[in-house]
């Protein structure tokens, strides 16, 4: 039996093979169970550090990059929120922000039949 590999994070899967119609024999057990152990781990998230020069007027954009260790076939969602550090005046030193970042699933490959 061939087992098709994938990168889908899922539970271990089972399938059966069933014997039927014996000639010159009887069944002691006519079913075998195969287990496919999933080997696709949960991806991890990371965010980079940024440095910006504030300037004397106006605003400067600080762009953080969030990366995923490996693609997955399901959307990954993560909440984010700013927090004071040595810049202690949210909305004065920086604009406070919060929300949810969603990383879409990787496109599924077309299967031929």
Asked if 73 contacts 106 with a C-beta cutoff of 8 angstroms, the reply is yes
| Token output for 68 | 């995923």
User: Residue 19 has what pLDDT?
Assistant: 94
Which residues lie below 8 Å from residue 53, measured CB to CB, with a gap of 6+?
Answer: 60
pLDDT tens column, 6-50: 777 778 899 999 999 999 999 999 999 999 998 877 889 999 999
| Token output for 13 | 């899967």
Task: Report the share of the chain in percent with pLDDT over 70.
Answer: 94
The pLDDT mean for the chain works out to 87
Pairing of strands 45-47, 66-68: antiparallel
Global pTM reads: 0.64
Which residues lie below 8 Å from residue 39, measured CB to CB, with a gap of 6+?
Answer: none
pLDDT at 111 exceeding the cut of 70: no
Quote the distance between the C-alpha of residue 79 and its chain's center. 15
């Amino acid at each position: 039996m061939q087992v098709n590999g994938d990168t889908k994070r899922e539970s271990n899967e089972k399938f059966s093979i069933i014997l039927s119609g014996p000639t010159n024999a009887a069944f002691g057990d006519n079913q075998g169970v195969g287990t496919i152990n999933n080997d696709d781990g949960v991806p991890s998230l990371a965010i980079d550090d940024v440095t910006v020069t504030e300037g004397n007027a106006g605003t400067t954009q600080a762009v953080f990059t969030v990366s995923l260790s490996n693609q997955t076939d399901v959307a990954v969602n993560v909440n984010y929120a700013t927090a004071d550090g040595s810049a202690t005046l949210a909305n004065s030193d920086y604009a406070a922000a919060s929300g949810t970042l969603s990383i879409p699933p990787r496109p599924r490959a077309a299967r031929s039949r």
